[in-house]
Structure 1
Amino acid sequence: MSNTSAKKKPIIVLAFSGGLDTSYCAVYLRQQGYRVHAVTVNTGGFNHKQIKDLERRAKELGAEKFEMLDETKRFYKKCLRYLIYGNVLRNHTYPLSVSAERVFQALAIVQYAQDSKAEYVAHGSTGAGNDQVRFDLAFRILSPKVKIITPIRDQQLSRQEEVEFLKKNEIDWSWEKAKYSINQGIWGTSVGGQETLTSNQSLPDEAYPSQMLGIGSQNVTLAFEKGEVESLNGKSFKHPIELIQELQLMAAPYAIGRDTHVGDTIVGIKGRVGFEAAAPLIIINAHQLLEKHTLAKWQLYWKDQLATWYGMMVHEGQFLDPVMRNIEMFLKDTQKLVSGEVHLQLHPYRYDLQGISSPHDLMSSKFGDYGEANKAWTGEDVKGFTNIAANATKIWFAVNRKERDKS
């Protein structure tokens, strides 16, 4: 084929993971007459060897080009720090490990498609999960003219059909389905398997990527500055991402951060997934403890409301909604005095938050010690306060006495 005819073929940007689904897509789309650009987005889940393996795979599948986009630092700046500011745990359990990363992978794919002037984008999602929505939303909002092609979803292919197709095209790799599906990233690792398809079984120890090797306990001090974690045991880092990775290496041998999340998917069904997220859970809970000491009562209350909404919108793929920028401004503003150190201890399968040290600690003994001594008011002040505070409810009881007596 001449270079002239090759150039006439349209470019299609394929969100490429290297697994069975996107491998099928690469071969199928090439056969359909597209110049396939296989693009992998790293949000903290790939090492150098894995990147090289992905590039080799993409070329063997016939991709014209392979590109690895490192979005880890951007992911932190644009999203992760707000998840920390908000202490975001979906259903009070899950630190949005995969769902938040998928959104930023989709955004990076859109940007690449625009830069390469591609008219087509593709992903390997099926029609049964959340990721199809996250990718499609990003594509439709940021590049409404781009055409979305999803071979697995559109053809409703079974895993075996994909394998047979690849074998016919001389891609006879080992496609034996692993017992557990693992998605690893900077903000945690999801683990899916036979047990997570049930409502009563838990994942066995061997399903998790980190095994329990820690002995005894280990003291850890995390320092925060305006809500951002900045040092670990006195060691500073060039970027918070490096600290997160270091803390993960420190805590993972204790098998900390394992749990199972049950929640509502975007497509309306209940889903269950195991995960391991030692560093995210430690950071979120340490940050929350520091906030309990440094933020005022109503700051804490309204932060919880908006942060829950923020996490839900990220999970649903609605990160681009303008209200998200408003919530981010609020969350950031609340962090002005969230500075200090959090002291904790690592143990096998758990960690204990010991306490905090902060110049902004509102447990100041200058005004009193809870349950011990009052220094800023008198007993007579409290009598007057409770008399006024009771007024509204006293009036309700007086007006509605008959109805109250009947009940």
Structure 2
Amino acid sequence: METNIKKVVLAYSGGLDTSIIIPWLKENYNNCEVIAVAADVGQGAELAGLEEKAKKTGASKLYIADLKKAFVEEYIWPTLKAGAVYENKYLLGTSFARPLIGKRLVEIAEAEGADAICHGCTGKGNDQVRFELAIKAFAPTMKIIAPWREWSIKSRDEEIDYAQAHNIPLNITRETNYSKDKNLWHLSHEGLDLEDPSNEPQYNKPGFLELGVSPEQAPDKPTYITLTFEKGIPVALNGSRLCGVDMIAQLNKLGGENGIGITDIVENRLVGMKSRGVYETPGGAILYHAHNKLEELCLDRDTYHYKQGVGLKFAELVYFGQWFTPLREALSAFVDSTQQTVTGEVKLKLYKGNIIDAGVSSPYSLYDEDIATFSEDEVYNQADAAGFINLFGLPIQVQAMKKQKK
């Protein structure tokens, strides 16, 4: 281990990994000073008691950085506007929180004069890439310490052994040792029985779901909501204007109560392997559905279709930790230009895990009832379609005629 590391800033959650990293750093890096940084991205009660715990395990201080507003406005909304979904299911809850946290770690490390930044991500996961690319974007020469790539510990069971040997209190047992990540957008579950994709997740098991209930346990009566968007950003719920943080909190409650936004995914990690996880994203699922519904009404066909491809690439960049890149910034500029008319109201019915469309309106609607009607109209001459079809189908017709001659 390097002996010139005197001060380390640690991304600290108080979970299993980061709880044992503090004493491990002091043991292996010449009793260096460890400054813990907990990013408040809406995990709520998980932040309680962190300062005492961090200091008891050897940290000199703990920063709690309130990043909720920036998380919503600078990361969630741009991704929502892009319609970015990774592999058709994942709404990127962990992915877009990491660049924000990484940037804040650099700011604190520079203010503290730290020699290194440390994270608790495993060598098998995506988060090590997301954190480290963010650090490289703002402190390209900063030393990065990743204990999972250095220590002899091989499993979460061995981590628990280490914690017990060092008298580090834990809020989990070996039987409830799911790997979880929670923020105001989502909650992820990995590990234990979920590692076998043939196992059905225990949605009805007490304590498994935290943001809501399973569809079976949801009420028999539907809940109607109306969301108002301005230029692609949700600004009001049922007529009441809300800041982004409160908007997501209220939709998480309403969606969770109705069994919305529970997703079981086998996803392709950046590092090459597949992993299985269960994600709870009740508010996010509602917002993505509503935003897409409004775009159906307000975007012209070519823009709408092209933007779907942009959304796929945007999701990949976010998932791969490439937030602070010229391409992501350029794609965001394109997305913003498409959102100038994405303004209006979307009414939805939430019922037992389903999000059901119940009406949409916009002052920028491109839907014209006079043209689309099945009744008599004086706008559209149906006879014009014959000439259009002849020209549109000409390449097919020519090819068929050539085949007949042969």
Q: TM-score, normalised by structure 1?
A: 0.90
> Which residue in 1 is equivalent to 2:127?
131
From 323, 327, 339, the counterpart of 1:323? 327
Output the amino acid matched with 2:233. Answer: E
Q: Is the aligned partner of 1:339 residue 2:343?
A: yes
Are the aligned partners of 2:348 and 2:358 in contact in 1 as well (CA < 8 Å)? yes
Question: Any idea what the Cα deviations from partners look like across 1:333-380, whole Å, max 9, x if unmatched?
Answer: 1111111111111222323111202122222123341x4445323233
Output the amino acid matched with 2:64. Answer: M
Query: Greater CA deviation, 274-283 or 81-90?
Result: 81-90
> By how many angstroms is 1:305 displaced?
0.5
Counterparts in 2 of 1:24-173, with a 5 A limit?
24-31=20-27, 32=29, 33-47=31-45, 50-158=46-154, 159-171=156-168, 173=170
> Which residue in 1 is equivalent to 2:304?
300
> By how many angstroms is 1:99 displaced?
1.7
> Which residue in 2 is equivalent to 1:385?
388
In the alignment, the residues of structure 1 paired with residue 15 and residue 387 of structure 2 have an alpha-carbon distance, to the nearest angstrom, of: 70
Are the aligned partners of 1:124 and 1:153 in contact in 2 as well (CA < 8 Å)? no
Output the amino acid matched with 2:303. Answer: Q
Q: Is the aligned partner of 1:358 residue 2:362?
A: yes
Q: Is the aligned partner of 1:187 residue 2:185?
A: yes
Are the aligned partners of 2:188 and 2:280 in contact in 1 as well (CA < 8 Å)? yes
> By how many angstroms is 1:175 displaced?
5.4
Unaligned ranges ≥5, structure 2: none
> By how many angstroms is 1:279 displaced?
0.6
In the alignment, the residues of structure 2 paired with residue 263 and residue 84 of structure 1 have an alpha-carbon distance, to the nearest angstrom, of: 20
In the alignment, the residues of structure 2 paired with residue 167 and residue 200 of structure 1 have an alpha-carbon distance, to the nearest angstrom, of: 33
Q: Is the aligned partner of 1:222 residue 2:218?
A: no
> Which residue in 2 is equivalent to 1:274?
278
Query: Greater CA deviation, 164-173 or 334-343?
Result: 164-173
In the alignment, the residues of structure 2 paired with residue 95 and residue 53 of structure 1 have an alpha-carbon distance, to the nearest angstrom, of: 30
In the alignment, the residues of structure 1 paired with residue 38 and residue 288 of structure 2 have an alpha-carbon distance, to the nearest angstrom, of: 28
In the alignment, the residues of structure 1 paired with residue 60 and residue 393 of structure 2 have an alpha-carbon distance, to the nearest angstrom, of: 75
Query: Greater CA deviation, 291-300 or 144-153?
Result: 144-153
In the alignment, the residues of structure 2 paired with residue 131 and residue 386 of structure 1 have an alpha-carbon distance, to the nearest angstrom, of: 51
Query: Greater CA deviation, 130-139 or 288-297?
Result: 130-139
Counterparts in 2 of 1:281 and 1:160: CA distance versus 1, 3 Å: closer
Output the amino acid matched with 1:189. Answer: L
> By how many angstroms is 1:385 displaced?
1.8
> By how many angstroms is 1:391 displaced?
2.0
In the alignment, the residues of structure 2 paired with residue 310 and residue 352 of structure 1 have an alpha-carbon distance, to the nearest angstrom, of: 26
Identity %: 28
Question: Any idea what the Cα deviations from partners look like across 1:28-76, whole Å, max 9, x if unmatched?
Answer: 22233211100011222234xx323111110111101100112121122
> By how many angstroms is 1:91 displaced?
1.6
Counterparts in 2 of 1:173 and 1:367: CA distance versus 1, 3 Å: closer
> Which residue in 1 is equivalent to 2:173?
176
Question: Any idea what the Cα deviations from partners look like across 1:132-160, whole Å, max 9, x if unmatched?
Answer: 11122222332121111122321141334
From 304, 309, 313, the counterpart of 2:313? 309
SS of alignment partner, residue 123 of structure 2: coil
Query: Greater CA deviation, 185-194 or 278-287?
Result: 185-194
Counterparts in 2 of 1:172 and 1:187: CA distance versus 1, 3 Å: closer
In the alignment, the residues of structure 2 paired with residue 106 and residue 372 of structure 1 have an alpha-carbon distance, to the nearest angstrom, of: 58
> Which residue in 2 is equivalent to 1:208?
209
Q: Is the aligned partner of 1:198 residue 2:196?
A: yes
Q: TM-score, normalised by structure 2?
A: 0.90
> Which residue in 2 is equivalent to 1:4?
none
> By how many angstroms is 1:395 displaced?
2.4
Question: Any idea what the Cα deviations from partners look like across 1:249-287, whole Å, max 9, x if unmatched?
Answer: 122122211111121101101111101111100110111
Output the amino acid matched with 1:208. Answer: L
Q: Is the aligned partner of 1:255 residue 2:259?
A: yes
Counterparts in 2 of 1:173 and 1:220: CA distance versus 1, 3 Å: closer
Are the aligned partners of 1:119 and 1:145 in contact in 2 as well (CA < 8 Å)? no
> By how many angstroms is 1:289 displaced?
0.7
